[in-house]
Structure 1
Amino acid sequence: MARAISNRESDELMKKTKADALKKCGDVVKAFADCSSGRTVSVAWACRGEHKALQDCLKQYTSPEAFEKVKADYLASNRS
């Protein structure tokens, strides 16, 4: 029977997954940061394209499907 992961393990995996996604999307993160630098309210429309690109990049690594794969890999590597 497959072992379920605890809430603590799930939270830690999600944090790691998000951090990894930010690294993998580094160029897109930088483009958004550069665009939004020095802006306040205008960032909403001035950087719309950069924000969409950032969200699209992050989504491929943090979607529910991607996270299920991370959990499966974690369980496979930590079999008890």
Structure 2
Amino acid sequence: MHTLTRQEEEQLLTEFQKRARKHCDPAIKAFADCATGRTVSVIWACRPLQREMNACLKSYGESGELERMKLELLRQKRARAAAASQASTAETRSE
């Protein structure tokens, strides 16, 4: 139980992205508000806001939060496996 399945990794990444968007919501909203109603001019008109949004998302990604989430999930997975193992051992002994 030292690794995550591909499905667990995908769920973890989805949750991480959700947390990152929530953390950076003010910057994302500011960029989205700037971009609303624009076409090509969004490139230069909203560039500072885009950089701010990207910097926020990048700093959240580099914060170690994903690794903390992964370690917590592995800890929970090991605890469930240990509990299941103890339950099956106790069940076998009682027979």
| Aligned position for 2:22 | 23
Whether the 8 Å contact between 1:32 and 1:50 is mirrored in structure 2 is yes
Which runs of no fewer than 5 residues in structure 2 stay unpaired? 82-95
Provide the rounded CA distance (Å) in 1 between the counterparts of 2:77 and 2:59.
24
| TM-score, length-scaled by structure 1 | 0.83
Cα displacement (A) at 1:62: 2.6
| Aligned position for 2:46 | 47
| TM-score, length-scaled by structure 2 | 0.72
Cα displacement (A) at 1:65: 4.3
Provide the rounded CA distance (Å) in 2 between the counterparts of 1:75 and 1:56.
29
Partner of 2:75: helix, strand, or coil? helix
More helix by share: 2
Partner of 1:3: helix, strand, or coil? coil
Cα displacement (A) at 1:66: 3.6
Per-residue CA deviations over 1:2-51 (Å, capped at 9, x if unaligned) read 51001111111111100111111111111001111101111111111111
| Aligned position for 2:3 | 4
Give % identity: 37
Which runs of no fewer than 5 residues in structure 1 stay unpaired? none
Whether the 8 Å contact between 1:32 and 1:54 is mirrored in structure 2 is yes
Larger Rg computed on CA atoms: 2
Cα-Cα RMSD: 1.8
Per-residue CA deviations over 1:37-80 (Å, capped at 9, x if unaligned) read 10111111111111111111111223494422221122123322
Partner of 1:4: helix, strand, or coil? coil
